[in-house]
Amino acid sequence: MSLEERLQIADLHLGGAGVRAIAALVGRSAATISRELARGRSKTGPQARTRYAPYAAQ
C-alpha cells in the first residue's frame, strides 16, 4: 500500500468514515483496510487504540 493511500485512509478515518466506506473510496477490500488500521495504530498516548498513524504503518 502506498503512502498516499495510507494518508487518504488516515484522513477518512479521522473524519469518522467507517471501514467499508474507506474501502470503497480507496478501492481496496474492507478486510485490507481493517488490517491496515489495526497495524498502523499508534502504540502510545491516550488515543493509542483509535489513532491511525500512516507513517508508522509503513
How many angstroms separate the CA atoms of 44 and 31, rounded? 24
pLDDT of amino acid 39: 83
Residue whose grid cell is 509503513 = 58
Model's pTM, two decimal places?
0.76
pLDDT of amino acid 38: 86
pLDDT of amino acid 57: 57
10-residue stretch averages of pLDDT, the chain, 58 residues long: 92 94 97 90 57 70
Other Cβ atoms closer than 10 A to 52? 21
